[in-house]
Each structure stands twice: as C-alpha cells, then as structure tokens.
Structure 1
C-alpha cells in the first residue's frame, strides 16, 4: 500500500474514503447457529474467515460534527466456509450505512482513534438477501494528521429467519479530504482567522509580514520588523522612541524633542540650534546671548552694544561728573547779546563742543534752563529767559541732537544762585543751565553767562 498525505477526517476535512479488504465469518453467530456462541472461536481465521484477495470493500464517510460521522460502505466476498463446513463458492454483497462516533475527534488529539457505530444495511448471498441491523467497533491508527490504518468489526444481525447473522471484519486505509483552505496557508478556513490572507499557525492563520512575531492586525508597522513594546514598530536609533513617532529616527534624541537630539540641553533641537554645543535660549536660535562691551546688558537689548553703559540706560553710557564739569567749562564762555536771545558768533564753537559731547551719550536726554537776574520787570525777565533757553536748544538741534532728547524752560529771575545786590551776583544769575532730563535733581549744572 502507498499513502498520500491528507488531513485527518474532521470538520475541516469532512469527507473520508476507505479502501480495504473484508473477512466474513459465519461461525460464532450465537444461538448454536451454525455452531457456537457469539464470540466462540472468534479469532480462528484459518477455519472460519472468508477472505477475498485484493480490494473488497470501499467506503465513503461524511463528518457531521461533534465527533460523529456517517459512513456508507459496499463490500464483496466469496463464501467458502460456513462454520466447520465447506461450501461451494457463493457470491456475497453488502451495502451498509452506519452512524459512527470518533473518540479522537472528541479529544481532538492523538494517533489512537477508537470508533463505535450503529446502523443498518442489506446483504445478498447469491440470490438471497436480507436486511441487517449493524453494530460496529473499530480503531483508526493515524500515521500522521493525514492518513490512518483502520481495523473494524461489524456484527450484522439479519431480520430474515432463514438468513444467517454474521461478523464482517475490515482492514484497510482511510483517507480524509474536502477541507477548504482559501489562502493556501495550510490552515483550513474554519480555523483560519484570516482565511483570505496566507498566515501562520501561531497566529491562527493571520500573517506577520515583517516576521517580528506580531500579527499584522496588531502591528502598527506591519512591513517593518519592530518590538512588541512599540506595537511592532522599530526604534532604529535606540532612543526609546519608535520610528513612526521619531522625527529623527536615525539619530538618538529625547522625548521632549520628539526623538531629535539636543546636545547642549537648551531646549532647541540640534538641527535648529545655531550653537548646538552651547546652551542658549530659543529666541536667540539656541546660542548664548553676547555682551560685547561687557556692561551687563546683552547685545540684543543693548542700544549701544559696542560701548559700555549702564543697565538703567539700556546699555548706553551716561555722563558722569567729569563730563558735567567739562560742559560747565564750555558754558562759562558762551555769550548772548545784551537783553537779547541772540547767541554771539564767538560762542558757536563752544556750543558745537557741547553738542559733540551730547552725541557721545545717545540715550541721555538733556533739559535746558534759562535764568536772569532781577534787573527789569519780572515778566520781561521770564520771557527773556525762555527765549535764551530756546536759542540754545535750537542751536543744538541744528548741530544734530534729536529734538526728542532736548527740552527748554525759562525760569526768569525766580531761581537765583547768588545775590542780585552786586554786579558779581547778578552776573552769576544771568545764566543757562543744562541738566539731565528725568533726574530728581540736577547731576551738574552747566552755566552759560551773558
């Protein structure tokens, strides 16, 4: 015999074909007919078994479910032995149908497969025939999940009084077939959770395209081998961030940077950091702020980045006492025409020097004050002091000092700095003073005499 690998008969392979030989035994049929009791001399093959050489029995079975299957069989034999008597050759035909129960199908495992069944049939010996009640027991020995050697004994009880009941023994092979495997992956559709996609047994027939041990339906990256902790996605750079969420999948980075590196830890990813190895704020493109003049005011906030200044003056320098003194020295030489606001020509160079000094302090605002002595009417003195203060301011504006950095106020005779009872005192009171705008008090005054 040769065997072909097919699936054992079950719900996946509902059909089975049986091919074998049969032996008919008329001796131990009970009630002393023809000789002994039911199982008397049961295994006396040589004296009592009628065996036709070659294939003498064919069967077809259909699985019903739950371990049950129905089997229909046809057999042929030549009867030469009846008990201890010899007969002329009689032709024997049998058609039988039984409902069988497979204990292996119930256990769904193992190579040892006991079977019991009951049914009925019709048997002919030459021209005589009778219906029979059949009971059967047998064993299938599965060589693999595909093919079995079967042995079976069936007792056929005849309903006709003049027709002998008898045993029929069967040996042969059983081949199961008929399973449906749409995707051809070796897992039948009934058990295949993905019947239209070739898959693996460990995933109940579902595929694992990238071979990472995670079935495609649960794999966030089904075409790239990955890790279970990342739902099947890879982490190429090993930074703990899966590639599908990593904006820099080939360079190890941090979660805060969505997987991109930040070498200096300043919160600016290296690809956007103009100083990747020096910590700096995002508003400065990741670079540290510079303070070229080392005055404590960073360059981007320093209105005078190349000249040391003060924080209060936005990084620009402020005039100190020495500067004020220098301006005072210039102011002593400035003259006005008598009782007029006209600046004399010889004082223009002095005022230009004052303008040059002011240019050195571009963030400093200056206030120009006009004063007179008490000679003359008070209203006239007030008006004259205002015009003189305005004349100085206008000269400085023409010299390049921005208008918004200058202001001018005339105080008349109201703020003397000396007595008006002497020529010397009155001369000191006729003056123009320049102070720093916004200060609570004047840092230094700059006197300009008429």
Structure 2
C-alpha cells in the first residue's frame, strides 16, 4: 500500500490555484482536442487517494479509467518496474527479445478463459490490441467483415473508431472510416422496448438476422463485443445474449472476440467478465488494468488463430516494452496475493445497496447496474427514461468539488460510473458514497 495517507483532505477549492496555473499552461501548450475531466494536477497517488499540487487529497473512484486497479503505486509493480528500468529500457522484442515478454504471454495464456492451447501478442494500447485482433481474425478466416454492437467502444484509431458506436467526441469530424464494419443491436435491458426479460432473446435474434441477411455469415471474420459495454454506459447485456452470440460465431466459423480492455483483471469480481456466463472467446483483448498504469496491451487466444498471421505481420516498435512487462508481472502477482477478485466483489456488495437506496429516494436514478467494482447509475428525467445528461454532469461536478473523482459515460452522456481501485479501503469507499449522496441532495 502507498505511504500516501489514505484520507480525503481539502485545503483549497477544487481545482486549487496551482492546478489553475497549470491549466493555463496546458491551454497554451497542449492541443485543445486533449480534454480533461477534472483539472486537478496530480503530485502523487496511491491506494484510493489522489493528491494534487495544491495539497488536496481526493478519493479516487476512477482508477485512471480502470487502469490502476492495484493502486497507482503498488509496491510490487514499482519494485519490478524499477529493477527492469535499471537493467534496460528497450531493445525492441522483434530485434533482440527478452524474457519478460514471454513471461507475460505465459501468464495471460494461463489466466484467460478456456483450457485450449493459447498464444499471446503484446501491444501498446487497447485500441491497438483490438485492431490486431481484427487483423488476426481476417488472416485466419480469409474474410473481410467485422460485426460490432450498439453502444460499443473499441478505441480511437481509424479502424477502432469505425468499430465504436458513439460519434461525439470519438468520431466527430475524423472520417471517413474503415470499411466492412457492421453494427447490430445490443441487449440493453433497461432500454429494450419490450422489457428486459425479452432483451437477450430478441436482440440476439435481430443481430443474427441482420448478419445473415445483410452481410452473410460466411463473409464475417470476427464478432467483437465488450462483455460489459464500458464507454457506452456500463451496460451488462441481458443474460443469455453473450452465449447466444458466441454460439452463432462457433456455428459459422466466425472468430468471437471479447474486448475485456475495461472489464479485465479482476474488475468485475472475476479475472475476466466473460467468465460470468461461461463464455470462452476465441480471442480476448486486454489493456488498462494489465500493468498497474504502464502502457501495455495484449491479444490472447486460440493458438491456431493467433498463428494465422505471417511472421512479421504482428508487432510494433514498443509493443511489450520490458518495463511495462515487468510492471504487468508485478500487477498480476499483486492481484493474486491480495485476492482482488474477492475485493472487487466486496466493493460491489458495499456500493450497490447504498446506490439502490439512493435510487428509492431520487427517481432521477433510472437504474443501478454493474458487477464487482464496475458500477454505474443511469440518470433520467423522473417518470421517464429520457436521458438527463445535464443532471449527470451536475452531480459529477458536485462530487469533484467535494473531493471525489468520478467519471461519466454512456451513449447519451447520462451515466455516472464508478471504478474505485480494488485496493481502496472500505472507509474511503463509504466516504465516497457519502459524497455521492450529498451531491444528489445538493443538485
């Protein structure tokens, strides 16, 4: 655990004067397209706390978007990364390889769902992992088409923007996009017109019908899906939907790709979210929580599929950087040692009842949903399901001012999402929930 005191402390307004000064420097030096959710400039962070340059300590319910699940300065991550840093920082695995890359691949092959033979390739970012999963699937199947889902988010490269559903801010003005990408319905229970009890069956039927009629299953290389849609609003597809789509893929020689970039590495109370319904993907993409904050991503999957790409067809200058690999080994060791799957489940057990009690008090909370430490509330105009993005922004702003880092998301911008570090203390967790309650009372 970090030596940073695990307590909230506000000594200035948020953001404080030093953060405001840095914001002015950012405006002059950094491209405007790089937005900031909460302009407090961080000096140090660890456990469940972020400390800014003004000395404020904020409770962290964001984890750098599900990245620092083991904390921002987990001792095992810091130690292994520092040791590697002192040995060498880079050789390029494609030129002169090193053991750390191989060891991370071995760990991922063992940890990901399924007992079949697996192989792994390492990359820099989640978007790069998804893009390479598509490359691998196309190489294996010799087919062009890729199927994705409403509310999905897969990255900011040209191909992954095409795979992503939401236009603003991810796609606006950046087209044209990569071709041969097709979007089908997701079983979004809360918004399914005939009710959540019909969502899985009807959404799967509609998706399969669209694939067979509009594309032809024989032309589809990959079906790519997040087991819980992240940026789209922490939407957990209605039970039965994922297994049905995975079975359809198997029946038609389509590579089924689970995008576990936000859900992976204990976040949902399991190592990987697709385990909840026993879904075994052909390929799984990971990033975010993999390396305790260092940039690393991976594609792991069936050995025969992973081996389909020709030698030299996969790679990249920095992919599987040795320092990031060392950090990943430290993060995985930490997850196992601290049993962070169980910690994630406990976080959900604390958060969900309190948020549901809040829902009973405030009809603007349309739904509380999520698993483990990946929890969200969807805000609507009372008595309707009309999204209320303005209220969502106001609640988030009130939380920020009171020393709690929270994030928003959702296709309609009306979802508050909570991603606390899995190592957060329960006292901080409850204090953060107190702040959320106060924010709702205030707005």
- TM-score of the pair, normalised by structure 1: 0.15
User: Which structure has more helix as a fraction of its residues?
Assistant: 2
User: Which structure has more strand as a fraction of its residues?
Assistant: 1
- TM-score of the pair, normalised by structure 2: 0.15
Whose RCO is larger (CA < 8 A, sep 6+)? 2
